[in-house]
Chains A and B, each alone.
Chain A
Amino acid sequence: MINLQRSVSSALTIAEIEARKIRHDSTELWMRTVQPALWLLVFGEVFNAVRSLSIPGYSYIQYIAPGVLAQSVLFVAIFYGITIVWERDVGLLTKLLSTPSPRLSIVVGKALAAGVRGIFQGVMVFALALIIGINLRFDPLDVAGVFIAAVLLAMCFASLSMTLASFLKTRDRMMGIGQAITMPLFFASNAIYPVSLMPVWLQYISKFNPLSYGVDAIRSMLLTGDYSALPVDILALLLSTLFFIACASVVLKRLIE
């Protein structure tokens, strides 16, 4: 019991470190809002005019707002491995591992830290949506649910990134792999177009893409209000997050070897 309590408190402390850093310097996160802004303002506006993309009942920009939110969280999280490699390089990781905190809580803490950044991104996309005047459901419970989904998404991809970092070990390689997998993850999801428009083979791939479930969950809360698929979405997201957290905790030690 005391162990569980300690594990949770360690994980929260590691996330707290991230929050404190963001409080000291949030420049990077502000710059990261440029991209979702472009997706909404440029991509969204232009493709609003494309008729075959029209989604019954909603404008295209409404449709992609949840996708853009999920995407900005994905982009923050998928490069989280670089932070870990950097922390390894300056000796911070070794020091973390030398504390009595279990390795699992270090991984969960780091994933939560990515979640903290994800929340920041979420707030930014919400702000953008308000400014542009995108008509979304701003029900407090839904908004809270969106943030939970965003944190799960961030944790999922940050753990994936940490797992990859444990094998690739350098920042340059992480940069490369990050670039290589973000776009496929993004395009093989329902973030900017419905799955039904995809070729059949891509539809199957999309079924194994955690991002699709994240987007679906966020979209149901933010846009449609149709919660029928929500339990499945959250469960799929939760399972893939747990899976990658388990992977990262098993292999993280490789990073300092």
Chain B
Amino acid sequence: MLGFVPQAISVDGDLTGYENLLVFAKLFFVGREERKQRILDALEYFGLADRANELVKNYSGGMMRRLEIAQALVNRPKVMFLDEPSIGLDPYSKKQVIDQIRELNREFGTTILITTHDMAEADVLCNRLAIMNMGKIAISGAPADLKHSVGGDVLTVKVAGQAAANLPTGLGSVISSEQGTIKILAEDGEAAIPRLMEYFERNGAVVESVSLSRPTLDDVFMKYAKASLQQEGTFRDARSARRSIARHGR
């Protein structure tokens, strides 16, 4: 059985929350005995129980979204499709929705397929993700692996005094060093901080500040989507070049 939650909120505003769940349970042929219990459970689970008998048009956006996921949940799908589940929600509702999606996967073992433009959401929710560009998968893999593939963590260290331009192996490699600001690429940035501090202090430099920036899925997206955009560009260029050569050749 499939569950489907479209991008646009599509619960029926002219029915109550309970009725929305009830009619869909009926349309999915959930048996009469299980129906009521499942609906009550779902309402409870998504924190909608106290407003179950209110018309849905009076709900907030976050509540509607949760009701919608509840609707898909009542028929206990093996696979569930969510299209932009948290679009247009405030940070609090968004977090609730994300938590509940994760719970759904953990408790019922539902396989969940999400499409989203929100890289942070993809990062926290997905075990595996694929970046699509121009209708094709540009790259896919676990979020951690993907982030790793665009490079490690970058540490920006500000030091007073003379600092060594070369770091011992295992600490990381210097990307740039100018006017006491050193950018260092490290495998595991957080673990590298104390070791770098220790190294600099031992070498007579005073560390003024350290900041860590880790690659996000945004960076991953930029890298792979941009790369394929460029590829597309060169492909078009090549084709038009071929055509013009053909014309001139005649």
B27 touches A96 (CB 8 A): yes
Which interface class (under 10, 10 to 19, 20 to 34, 35 or more) fits B?
10 to 19
Q: Please tell me if A21 contacts chain B, counting CB pairs below 8 Å.
A: yes
Q: Please tell me if B224 contacts chain A, counting CB pairs below 8 Å.
A: no
A101 touching B12 in the complex, CB below 8 Å, given contacts A20-B19, A95-B6: no
A21 touches B9 (CB 8 A): no
Complex Cα distance, B2 from A127, in Å, reads 47
Complex Cα distance, B12 from A25, in Å, reads 13
A17 touching B29 in the complex, CB below 8 Å, given contacts A91-B6, A98-B4, A99-B24: no
Q: Please tell me if B149 contacts chain A, counting CB pairs below 8 Å.
A: no
For B28, list chain A residues within 8 Å (CB): 99-100
Q: Please tell me if B222 contacts chain A, counting CB pairs below 8 Å.
A: no
A13 touching B27 in the complex, CB below 8 Å, given contacts A20-B15, A95-B4: yes
B29 touches A91 (CB 8 A): no
A13 touching B9 in the complex, CB below 8 Å, given contacts A24-B55, A99-B28: no
For A95, list chain B residues within 8 Å (CB): 4, 6, 10
Query: Which residues of B1-30 are within 8 A (CB) of A?
Result: 1-2, 4, 6, 8-10, 12, 14-16, 19, 23-24, 26-29
Complex Cα distance, B20 from A13, in Å, reads 12
Chain B residue, CB-CB nearest to A2 = B29
For A20, list chain B residues within 8 Å (CB): 15, 19, 23
A21 touches B24 (CB 8 A): no
Complex Cα distance, B2 from A108, in Å, reads 24
For A25, list chain B residues within 8 Å (CB): 14
Query: Which residues of A61-105 are within 8 A (CB) of B?
Result: 90-92, 94-96, 98-101
Chain A interface mostly: helix
B223, chain A: closest CB distance, angstroms? 34
For A21, list chain B residues within 8 Å (CB): 12, 14-15
A116, chain B: closest CB distance, angstroms? 14
Report which A residues bind B (CB closer than 8 A).
Answer: 6, 9-10, 13-14, 16-17, 20-21, 24-25, 90-92, 94-96, 98-101
Could you name 21 residue pairs across A and B whose Cβ atoms are closer than 8 Å? Answer: A6-B29, A9-B26, A9-B29, A10-B27, A13-B23, A13-B26, A13-B27, A14-B27, A16-B26, A17-B12, A17-B19, A21-B15, A24-B16, A25-B14, A90-B9, A91-B6, A92-B10, A95-B6, A98-B2, A98-B4, A99-B27
Return the 6 tightest CB-CB contacts between A and B, nearest first.
A91-B10, A99-B27, A13-B26, A91-B8, A21-B14, A98-B4
Report which B residues bind A (CB closer than 8 A).
Answer: 1-2, 4, 6, 8-10, 12, 14-16, 19, 23-24, 26-29, 55
